[in-house]
Amino acid sequence: MKSKSVFCINCTKVLNKSTKSSRNTWRNVSSKKYRWLHELLKARDVQLQPEMLICNKCRVMMYKENKRRRCDKPHTALDNVDDDNESRSEPETASYWSSSSGFLISDDIMGNGNDFDYCAMCMKTGNPMRFISTSERMTILCDHRLYLSPTARRCTTICCETPCQRPQERSRLAAHEVQRLINDLIIELSHAKQTPLVSENDPNFIDDDYIAWTGWTMEQLKSMASLIAPQMRNSKHRSPFEAVCLFWIKLKTNLSFRQIGTIFKIDTQETSIRRRVEDTFHAVLDRLNEILVPKHLGLTHLSRSEALNHHTAYSRAFFGDQLSVIWDGTYIYCNKSSDHALQRSNYSGQKSRHLIKMMSLVLPDGYVLDLLGPFYGKDNDASISKVILLHWLDFLSESFFS
C-alpha cells in the first residue's frame, strides 16, 4: 500500500522520509505553543489542520517575520507587567495582584484563557470541538490547577485524559474574570453539596460502583428510568434515574429508608426524610409492576405456540404436542409479626415456622410462566389450588392447553 505523502503546511513541499536530515529539520506545529505561527498562517489564508508539519526553511522565515512584528508592536501596560514580573525575584506567594494593570498573576495556576481555537486538553487546533461545561472546568482547575475560560473547548473525541503541560502560560486574570471564576466555584460547590452520592452525571462513578450499590450497570439503570419516566414526574428531590437507584439500593443493601435519604441528600425536613424515601420506593415498585410484570409474567404474555417452544425431549416424549406446565410452591420464611392475627395466619404447622407461600407455574425447560401469591403459611396446597383455579378459569381453557 502506498504511503501517504506529507506536505509542509506553508509551502506544500513534500517531506522526503528517506532522508534523515530532512526528517530532523521538519517540525510538528499543531500544538498551542505555536500559536504565533498559526496567526501568521491565518494571515496567509492557510487553513489550519489537526496535524501540521512545517519545513525548516518556512519555520525560520516565519520566526523572523514574527520577531519583526513584535518589534513593530507598540509597548503596552500589559507588557510592562510581564517585564516587571520577569525581573523581580521569586514572589512571596504563588499569586499576587498587580494594581498598576488590574490583573491577577498566578505562578501555580496555568492557562491564559486563550483556549477558544485550541483544544484545552491536547492544545491542538483543527479538530471538531465542543464547549466545556462549568463543572468540567472547575474539575480541571481543582485536579490539574489549570484555568479555562468560559469559552474553552475540547475535541469531541477523547484526545487525552489529562491536559498537556503548559509552563509558559501563567494565568493572568482581569478583575471581572476573577469575579466570574469565584461565582462559578461557589455555584459548583453548592451543586456538589446537593448532588446525591449516587448520581447519573458523576464522572467518578463507574459501572463497578453502580453494580456494587444497585446490582445493575448504568445503562441498565438508565433503561429502567426511561420506562418509568413518562409516568413518574421529575421531582425536586430526585430524578427518575435517582428514584430507580434508590429502589435497587434498598433491595440490595437493605439499608433503612433514613440511611438511604442521607445517601441521596433528600432536602426536606428531618422528620419527613424517611417518608419521602419510602414514597419514592413504592412509586418505583408500582411503576415497574405495571410496566414490566405483564410483559414477562402471566399466562397472557406467551401464546400457545411460543409456550410449546419450551418443550423438552422428556415432556415431548410423555405428552406429545400437548402443553405441559409444572405447578409447585416454595416457602419464604419470615419473622413473627406484632399483629397477632397475621402471625397466626403465617404460622405453618408442617414446618413449625412462620412463612409465606408462593406458587410457580413453570414450563418444562425452566421458563417461569407465572408466579402467584403470596399466600398465608397456614394454607395448604389444596386450598391454594382452588383459589388459583377460580381466578384463572378464563385462561385455563382449550384455546391455551389443547
**What is each CA distance from 22 to 12, 55, 62, in whole angstroms?**
15, 8, 18
Domain boundary among 295, 310, 335: 295
**Beta-bridge mates of residue 98:** 103
Instruction: Give the contacts of 277 (CB within 8 A, at least 6 positions apart).
Output: 246, 257, 258, 260, 261, 264, 266
Task: Show the domain range for 335.
Answer: 323-401
Determine, yes or no, domain membership for 355.
yes
Domain boundary among 275, 295, 315: 295
Q: What's the CA gap between 351 and 210, in Å, rounded?
A: 39
pLDDT of residue 83: 44
Q: Are residues 220 and 264 in the same domain?
A: yes
Q: What's the CA gap between 169 and 167, in Å, rounded?
A: 6
For the CA atoms of 145, 205, 224, 131, the dihedral, rounded to the nearest 10 degrees, stands at 10
Q: What's the CA gap between 384 and 393, in Å, rounded?
A: 14
Q: What's the CA gap between 236 and 106, in Å, rounded?
A: 39
Q: Are residues 59 and 99 in the same domain?
A: no
Q: What's the CA gap between 126 and 159, in Å, rounded?
A: 13
Dump pLDDT digits (tens) for 150-164: 888 888 888 888 888
Q: Are residues 238 and 327 in the same domain?
A: no
Determine, yes or no, domain membership for 333.
yes
Show the beta-strand stretches assigned E in 71-169.
Answer: 95-98, 103-110, 129-131, 153-155
Q: Give the position of cell 428510568.
A: 225
Determine, yes or no, domain membership for 80.
no
pLDDT of residue 248: 93
Q: Are residues 146 and 109 in the same domain?
A: yes
Determine, yes or no, domain membership for 54.
yes
Determine, yes or no, domain membership for 252.
yes
Q: Is the bond preceding 374 in cis, omega lying within 30 degrees of 0?
A: yes
3-state SS, residue 245: helix
Determine, yes or no, domain membership for 168.
yes
Q: Are residues 341 and 276 in the same domain?
A: no
Identify which of 47, 34, 48, 52 has the alpha carbon closest to the alpha carbon of residue 164: 34
Q: Within the chain, which residues score under 50 in pLDDT? A: 1-2, 20, 75-93, 99-100, 398-399, 402
Number of folded domains in the chain?
4
Determine, yes or no, domain membership for 305.
no
pLDDT of residue 333: 92
Q: Are residues 211 and 184 in the same domain?
A: no
Determine, yes or no, domain membership for 312.
no
pLDDT of residue 38: 84
CB contact at 8 A, 285 and 247? yes
Identify which of 326, 309, 242 has the alpha carbon closest to the alpha carbon of residue 281: 242
Q: What's the CA gap between 86 and 75, in Å, rounded?
A: 16
Neighbour-count burial of 371, counting CB atoms closer than 10 A to its CB (0-12 exposed, 13-18 middle, 19+ buried): middle
Angle at 33 between CA 27 and CA 36, to 5 degrees: 90
Q: How many CB atoms lie within 10 A of CB 400?
A: 17
Dump pLDDT digits (tens) for 214-234: 899 989 999 999 988 888 877
Q: Are residues 268 and 229 in the same domain?
A: yes
Q: Are residues 53 and 99 in the same domain?
A: no
Q: Are residues 234 and 190 in the same domain?
A: no
Q: How many CB atoms lie within 10 A of CB 367?
A: 13
pLDDT of residue 77: 41
Cell numbers representing residue 82 in the block: 510581564
